[in-house]
Amino acid sequence: MKRKALGMGVALTATVWTGCIGLAQQSPPAECPAEGFQGGFSRGCPQRQFANPEDISGMMAALPEKPYATPESLRHVLVLCRAVGWVHSSIPLASKMVEYLGDKTGAWMTTITYDAAAITPENLKGYDAIFLDSTTGEFLDDPNDKAATDLRRQALLDFVKGGKGLAGVHAATDSYHTKGPTPTGEWPEFNEMIGGFFKFHWSYPTLIPVKVDDPHSPLTTMYPSRGFVMVDETYTFAQDSFSRKRVHVLTSINYAKMSEEDKAKEPAAGRRTDGDYALSYIQRVGNGRVFYEAHGHDEKVYFLRPFVAHMLAGIQYALGDLKADDSPSEK
């Protein structure tokens, strides 16, 4: 049986993913959005904790039949959905993806929470990995309780460094950093552990050519080695926050294939000088493992079989069941 949730509640054609173009990002509504609003909304509105049934159906049709590796033991994944900054409407769907992936493949059991108070040393003893579901802002912090904030932060670091796993999707990197064209990290230990922090994103309907950096990895077997095209809100990292000397890159933007018009959409101030825009990667942190995927903004991305399979493989890597080369891409 699954653990009880805490809190309330495609085809690949040639080199282009079809069915992945979602609704254009809308400006935050004047009032809190009604059910069915896609994209997201800024802070101040309560997080909805239930995905639309039609989105769940689309996601379930994309689920793989079996895991990439046989679990070494009964695994437990804690999905944390708390967003303090921008709140993505895809958060409830992503959490259900993790739950249903575990249920269908038998790879893990899932607990879903919107409460950062779940991140304590005692509670984390029951889990093998944490999944950060588009967590934004200071998602672990209690502004009225510094002791609780410090406890949660240290618990997360100790959990991973001590040998457990961390996986994150999309806005998990839009956390603990300043704003503006040249942001700086506010919690260096977390910024390094998750691999970088948000600087800029390409919006709909930009076609992003994706390069498979490691076609031999078991985490990229679902992708054509020649690459593909993705349509989603595509995150990029501040220049000094991401480094191939620290992480093992799985996929990245094929920047050489982007049009000059699309490249120009990124503000000149703070633009990366190396043309290196990683999308998914893994790394070792202490004795633990970290997996991150930058896409996952729009609900329709979760209807894509290769994307969902990539998430399955990434979480199994974080759990320690799927072995992969996680040495830094640059020595």
Q: In 10 A of CB 58, how many CB atoms?
A: 18
Q: Grade residue 19 by pLDDT with cuts at 50, 70 and 90.
A: very low
- In this model, does residue 43 exceed pLDDT 80? no
- In this model, does residue 138 exceed pLDDT 70? yes
- Tell me how far CA of residue 66 lies from CA of 70, 72, 110, 303, in angstroms: 9, 15, 17, 17
pLDDT value of residue 17: 33
Are 48 and 7 in contact by the 8 Å Cβ rule? The answer is: no
Question: In this predicted structure, which of 80-89, 99-108, 176-185, 260-269 has the lowest mean pLDDT?
Answer: 176-185
pLDDT value of residue 269: 85
The residue that leads in pLDDT, 70 or 235, is 70
Are 129 and 166 in contact by the 8 Å Cβ rule? The answer is: yes
- Residue 130 CA to residue 149 CA, distance in Å, equals 17
- Residue 82 CA to residue 87 CA, distance in Å, equals 9
- Residue 288 CA to residue 330 CA, distance in Å, equals 20
Q: Reply yes or no on domain 12-22+39-319 having CATH 3.40.50.880.
A: yes
Residue type, 157: L
pLDDT value of residue 175: 92
pLDDT value of residue 144: 96
- Residue 65 CA to residue 258 CA, distance in Å, equals 35
Element (H, E) at 190: helix 188-194
**Could you state, in order of their start, the residue ranges of all structural domains in the chain?**
12-22+39-319
- Residue 187 CA to residue 142 CA, distance in Å, equals 15
Burial class (CB in 10 A: 0-12, 13-18, 19+), 287: exposed
The residue that leads in pLDDT, 223 or 235, is 223
* Span 292-323, pLDDT tens digits: 999 999 999 999 999 999 999 999 999 999 99
Task: Characterize the bridge pairing of strands 76-80 and 109-113.
Answer: parallel
Residue type, 19: G
pLDDT value of residue 53: 96
- Residue 90 CA to residue 47 CA, distance in Å, equals 11
Element (H, E) at 103: helix 91-105
189: nearest Cα among 142, 153, 164, 213: 153
pTM tops 0.85: yes
Mean of the pLDDT values across residues 56-66? 98
- Residue 80 CA to residue 98 CA, distance in Å, equals 11
